């Protein structure tokens, strides 16, 4: 099972003077169970791309398949199938906390499953489950106004609202932007847990090479509406020329290690996480 994009092209405001090709013949596959990051310069097409993954945007050309089902159903039967396929893909937007609107955390999270037509008991079960998944105690927070929470907690409520619909794929657009270091750490750990413990397939857009290196297995690099490169995080970060041409830079630890290597130290310059870097430094300096 997977999400597949085949020759997807998307044109904003076609046939007007403002016409702009935001996606240009993009082909990619996101396998179920994978953890994929999308990086690229502002305006490279990242957000346009993720909005195709659950049919919020419809390709100008090409097709999007979720578990083999084309999201653009032609007849009535195909449309129903497409609707079900779309439900498999949950989407968390940038600054998702701005979408909260209900009086209590419970009501806000219940909004999605209620609209799916589930009965009361099932909805409550879903809310409880989703809150536990994002690390908010149901008992303590269900009756709290979402607007009384911290920024990081509000964002987790917004994610819970998506999880309550039990998607198989979770797509997040810059999930940690604007959070303080602790909020960021908690949120990224939550996402990691959703992947490891609950087997959710994760796709996230990020400007933080540190977060990408720490969490993702695969990395897609967008440039000027095209999928410029796809590979494992280690492969992509090792390609200095690619990074430079696409306006990205390797994680900080890798930059440090590369500079040390240039200076003649036998360190592991392929380390992309602080832990791996520290390990290599310990060996080189014979400590611990």
Partner 1 sequence: MAFIEVNNLTHIYGKGTEQEFCALKDVSFTIEEGEFVAILGANGSGKSTLARHLNGLLQPTEGECMINGLDTKKPEDIWAIRRQVGMVFQNPDNQLIAGVVEDDVAFGPENLGMEPEKIRQQVTEALRAVGMEEFRKFAPHLLSGGQKQRAAIAGALAMDTRCLILDESTAMLDPQGRREVMGTVEHLHEERGLTLICITHFMEEAAKADKILVMEKGQLVQQGRPQEIFADAPRLHKLGLDVPLAVELAWNLRKDGLSLPQDILRNDDLVAALEACYVH
CB 108 within 8 A of CB 146: yes
Query: Among residues 83 and 147, whose Cβ is nearest to partner 1?
Result: 147
- Residues ≥6 apart with Cβ < 8 Å to 120: none
Contact residues for 118 (Cβ-Cβ < 8 A; gap 6+): 126
Read off φ and ψ for residue 169, nearest 5 degrees. Answer: -115, 135
d(CA 108, CA 121): 16
Q: Which is nearer to partner 1, 64 or 267 (CB)?
A: 267
For the CA atoms of 137, 32, 168, 237, the dihedral, rounded to the nearest 10 degrees, stands at 50
Give the span between the Cα atoms of 252 and 237, in whole angstroms. 11
Q: Which is nearer to partner 1, 3 or 97 (CB)?
A: 97
SS3 for 130? helix
Angle at CA 165, nearest 5°, toward 88 and 94? 80
In this structure, the strands spanning 218-223 and 226-232 are: antiparallel
The residues that touch partner 1, with contacts defined as CB under 8 A, are 41-43, 150-152, 177-184, 207, 209, 247-249, 252-253, 255-256, 259-260, 263-265, 274, 277-278, 281-282, 284-285, 287-288
Smallest separation (angstroms) from partner 1 to the CB of 157: 15
Nearer to partner 1, 1 or 278 (CB): 278
- For the bound state, the minimum distance from the C-beta of residue 97 to partner 1, rounded and expressed in Å, comes to 11
Q: Which of 141, 174, 180 is nearest to 160 (CA)?
A: 141
Chain centroid to CA 193:
14
Of 64 and 157, the one with the shorter C-beta distance to partner 1 is 157
Report, in Å, the least distance between residue 265 CB and partner 1: 5
Given the complex with partner 1, which of 182 and 196 has the nearer CB atom? 182
Round to whole Å and give the CA distance between 41 and 39: 7
Closest separation in Å from C-beta 174 to partner 1: 9
Closest approach of partner 1 to the CB of residue 70, in Å: 33
Residue 114 vs 279, nearer CB to partner 1: 279
Smallest distance from the beta carbon of 24 to partner 1, in angstroms? Answer: 20
In the complex, least distance from residue 99 CB atom to partner 1, rounded to whole angstroms: 16
73, exposed or middle or buried, with CB in 10 Å at 0-12, 13-18, 19+? middle
Task: Return the number of the residue (141 or 169) whose C-beta is nearest partner 1.
Answer: 141
Q: Work out how close the CB of 94 gets to partner 1 at its nearest, in angstroms, rounded to a whole number.
A: 9
């Amino acid at each position: 099972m997977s999400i597949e994009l085949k020759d997807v092209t998307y044109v904003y405001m076609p046939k007007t003077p403002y016409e702009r090709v935001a996606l240009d013949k993009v082909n990619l596959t996101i396998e179920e169970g994978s953890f994929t990051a999308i990086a690229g310069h502002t305006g490279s097409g990242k957000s346009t791309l993720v909005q195709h993954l659950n049919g919020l945007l419809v390709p100008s050309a090409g097709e999007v398949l979720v578990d083999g089902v084309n999201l653009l159903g032609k007849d009535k039967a195909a449309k129903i199938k497409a609707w079900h396929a779309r439900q498999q893909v949950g989407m968390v937007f940038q600054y998702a906390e701005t979408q909260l609107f209900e009086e209590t955390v419970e009501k806000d999270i219940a909004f999605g499953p209620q609209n799916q037509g589930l009965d009361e008991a099932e909805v409550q079960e879903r809310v409880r489950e989703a809150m536990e998944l994002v690390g908010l105690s149901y008992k303590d927070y269900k009756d709290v106004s979402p607007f009384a929470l911290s920024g990081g907690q509000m964002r987790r409520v917004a994610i819970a609202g998506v999880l309550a619909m039990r998607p198989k794929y979770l797509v997040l657009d810059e999930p940690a932007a604007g959070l303080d270091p602790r909020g960021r750490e908690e949120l990224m750990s939550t996402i990691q847990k959703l992947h490891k413990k609950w087997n959710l397939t994760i796709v996230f857009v990020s400007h933080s090479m540190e977060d990408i290196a720490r969490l993702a297995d695969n990395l897609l690099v967008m440039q000027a509406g095209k999928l410029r490169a796809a590979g494992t995080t280690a492969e992509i970060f090792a390609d200095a020329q690619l990074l430079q041409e696409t306006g990205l830079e390797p994680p900080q630890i890798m930059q440090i290690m590369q500079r040390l290597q240039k200076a003649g130290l036998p360190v592991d310059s392929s380390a992309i996480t602080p832990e791996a870097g520290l390990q290599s430094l310990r060996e080189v300096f014979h400590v611990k």
